Amino acid sequence: MLSKGVEVKKIENLTINSLPAIFVTGTQNPYGNIYTKCIFLFGTDTETIMINGVYPENLKKVGDEIKKSMLTVFYEADKKINPFEALDYSIDISETKLKFGKSMSNSLTFSVDGQVPTTSSDKTNLVVAKSFSQITTEDKKLFCINRLRQTPIEIENIEYTNEITIIDGISGYEIYAKGKSKKTDETENIYQVILFSDKLYYILFGTTNDESDKSIEEIKKAVKTFKRK
């Protein structure tokens, strides 16, 4: 959680429908605003369920209500879930080599084998997510560059940063960069798009270890299909 900028304050061990669970409370300080973040985790041998709650640190009563609501969760083991149904956006990967990997916290992850993390030698992947916090900065281009530098990749060179309006009619920026994974030291080619909508933003973050342009072009093809519902 530290890698996401969350400082853990408290961890509670709970039981939900006879399943072990933990409730984590921490604080996060995005762009000078302090928020309390609650993360409720439980699951089985085959899946993990995560429920997130976020509120301004000074609104303790609101936080109590959020926690109370989160703890009303009921797990139905046999229920079939459509991971795309609750999202307010869609993306089409049918014309690419990417496969759906997992859905978590308003985000989707795709890889070439549908595994997260991938077990393939081809590490091409794409993560699509909607932000929880509002944009407070006026310089959106700088925001996109700073957001890129928050990833677990050491950025070595930004090839280009372009303003775009071609994806679902939303304004934003695309960035193509090169770097190295902070975990494996492997070379990474990165394509990041951030789209701004109603003071929030959508981020589409693709990476590949393919040195050719082919995999980046496949990521771009998928990104261009992004639509709000």
Reading phi first (left if > 0) and then psi (alpha if -120 to 50, else beta), residue 78 is in: alpha
Closest CA to 209 of 184, 227, 229: 184
Task: Summarize pLDDT for 174-224 with one digit per residue, the tens.
Answer: 999 999 998 889 999 999 999 999 889 999 999 999 989 999 999 999 999
Task: Please tell me whether residues 147 and 192 are part of one structural domain.
Answer: yes
Task: Please tell me whether residues 137 and 41 are part of one structural domain.
Answer: no
Q: What is the CATH number of the domain that holds 149?
A: 3.40.1000.10
Write down the residue that tokens 């929880």 correspond to.
Answer: 132
Q: What is the pLDDT of residue 134?
A: 80
Tell me which of 37, 70, 103 is where a domain ends: 70
Task: Please tell me whether residues 112 and 23 are part of one structural domain.
Answer: no
Q: Is the pLDDT of residue 26 over 90?
A: yes
Q: What is the pLDDT of residue 25?
A: 95
Distance CA 175, CA 103 (A): 24
Q: Could you tell me the residue range of the domain that residue 22 belongs to?
A: 2-70
Name the pTM for this structure.
0.74
Is residue 132 situated within a structural domain? yes
Is residue 78 situated within a structural domain? no
Number of structural domains the chain divides into: 2
Task: Please tell me whether residues 162 and 96 are part of one structural domain.
Answer: yes
Task: Please tell me whether residues 161 and 100 are part of one structural domain.
Answer: yes
Task: Summarize pLDDT for 106-118 with one digit per residue, the tens.
Answer: 899 999 999 999 9
> In the structure encoding, which two tokens stand for residue 215, read together?
């995999």
Q: Is the pLDDT of residue 80 over 50?
A: yes
Distance CA 214, CA 229 (A): 29
Total number of residues shown for the chain = 229
Task: Please tell me whether residues 98 and 148 are part of one structural domain.
Answer: yes
Mean pLDDT of 38-56: 90
Query: Higher pLDDT residue, 225 or 46?
Result: 225
Evaluate the CA torsion angle 17, 18, 24, 25 in order and state its sign: positive
Is residue 81 situated within a structural domain? no
Yes or no: say if 125 and 109 are a contact pair by the CB < 8 Å rule. Answer: yes
Closest CA to 132 of 54, 227, 219, 78: 54
Task: Please tell me whether residues 94 and 168 are part of one structural domain.
Answer: yes
Is residue 36 situated within a structural domain? yes
